[in-house]
Chains A and B, each alone.
Chain A
Amino acid sequence: MKLTHAIGAVAALALMGAAPPARAGATMDAVKAKGFVQCGVNLGLYGFSAPDDKGNWTGLDVDVCRAIAAALFADANKVKYTPLSAQQRLPALQAGEVDLLARNTTWTLTRDTANGLDFTTPNYFDGQGFMVARKIGVKSVKELNGATVCVLPGTTTEQNLADYFRAAKMTYKPVVIEKNEELNSAFFSGRCDALTSDASQLAGVRAGQAANPDDYVILPELISKEPLTPAVRQGDSQWTDLVRWSQYVMVYAEEKGVTSKTVTVAQKSPDPDLQRLLGVTVGNGKALGIDEKWAFNIIMQVGNYGESFERNVGKESRLKLDRGLNALYTNGGLMYAMPPR
Chain B
Amino acid sequence: MTTAAAWAKKNLFGSPANTVLTLLGLALLWQVVPPFVGWALIHASWGAGTPESCRQAGGACWTLLAERHRLMLFGLYPYEQHWRPFLAMLLFVALLAISSQRRCWRPWLGALWAAAVVLIGVLMWGGVLGLATVETAQWGGLPLTLVIAVLAIVIAFPMSIVLALGRRSQLPAIKAVSVGYIELVRGLPLVSVLFMASVMFPLFLPEGITIDKALRALVGMTLFTAAYLAEAVRGGLQAIPKGQFEAADALGLGYWQTMRLIILPQALRLVIPPIVNQFITCFKDTSLVTIVGLYDLLAATKASLNDPAWRPFFVEGYLAAALVYFCFCFFMSRYSQWLERELAKGSR
Contacts and interface: CB of A to CB of B under 8 A. Distances in A.
Interface of A: 1-6, 8-10, 12-14, 16-19, 21-23, 43, 51, 55, 80, 82-85, 88, 91, 94-97, 178, 181-182, 185, 188, 209-211
A4 B110 CA distance: 10
Nearest to A2: B110
A121 B137 CA distance: 29
Contacts of B215: 13-14, 17
B151 interface: yes
Contact of A1 (B110, B135, B214, B309): B110
B93 interface: no
B293 A84 contact: yes
A55 B155 contact: no
B208 interface: yes
B64 to A, nearest CB: 15
A5 B114 contact: yes
B154 interface: yes
Nearest to B291: A178
B210 A97 contact: yes
B117 interface: yes
B40 interface: no
B34 to A, nearest CB: 28
B208 A91 contact: no
A6 B202 CA distance: 23
B293 A21 contact: no
B199 A1 contact: no
Contacts of A19: 209-210
Nearest to A19: B210
Contact of B202 (A12, A83, A91, A188): A91
Contact of B198 (A21, A82, A88): A88
B38 interface: no
Contacts of A21: 207-209
Contacts of A4: 114
Contacts of B218: 13
A42 to B, nearest CB: 12
A122 to B, nearest CB: 26
A97 B202 contact: yes
B196 to A, nearest CB: 11
Given A9-B151, A12-B121, A23-B207, A1 B111 contact: yes
16 contacts: A2-B114, A2-B158, A5-B113, A6-B154, A9-B121, A9-B155, A12-B121, A14-B211, A55-B78, A82-B137, A88-B199, A94-B202, A95-B203, A181-B302, A210-B308, A211-B311
B157 interface: yes
Interface string B135-151: 11110000000000001
A55 to B, nearest CB: 7
B125 interface: yes
Contact of B199 (A91, A178, A209): A91
* A-B interface, 8 closest residue pairs, ranked by CB to CB distance from nearest: A1-B110, A21-B208, A95-B202, A5-B114, A17-B212, A17-B211, A211-B308, A17-B215
A98 B242 CA distance: 56
Interface of B: 76, 78-79, 107, 110-111, 113-114, 117, 121, 125, 135-138, 151, 154-155, 157-158, 198-199, 202-203, 207-212, 214-215, 218, 291-293, 302-303, 306, 308-309, 311
Nearest to A38: B210
B293 A83 contact: yes
Contacts of A2: 110, 113-114, 154, 157-158
Contacts of B292: 88
A22 B198 CA distance: 18
Contacts, number: 98
Contacts of A85: 293
A13 B78 CA distance: 20
Nearest to B125: A16
A200 B92 CA distance: 45
Given A9-B155, A18-B210, A91-B199, 19 more contacts: A2-B110, A2-B154, A2-B157, A4-B114, A5-B113, A8-B114, A14-B211, A16-B212, A23-B207, A55-B138, A82-B137, A83-B137, A88-B293, A91-B202, A97-B210, A181-B303, A182-B302, A185-B311, A188-B308
A96 B293 CA distance: 17
B120 to A, nearest CB: 10
B158 A3 contact: yes
A311 B292 CA distance: 32
B117 to A, nearest CB: 6
A96 B203 CA distance: 10
Contacts of B158: 2-3, 6
Nearest to B207: A23
A29 to B, nearest CB: 12
Contacts of B214: 17
A22 B208 contact: yes
Contact of B209 (A8, A18, A94, A209): A18
Given A5-B114, A10-B155, A88-B293, A211 B309 contact: yes
A121 to B, nearest CB: 27
A188 B209 contact: no
A96 B206 CA distance: 11
Contacts of B211: 14, 17-18
B37 to A, nearest CB: 27
B134 to A, nearest CB: 11
Nearest to A8: B114
Contacts of A55: 76, 78-79, 138
Nearest to B211: A17
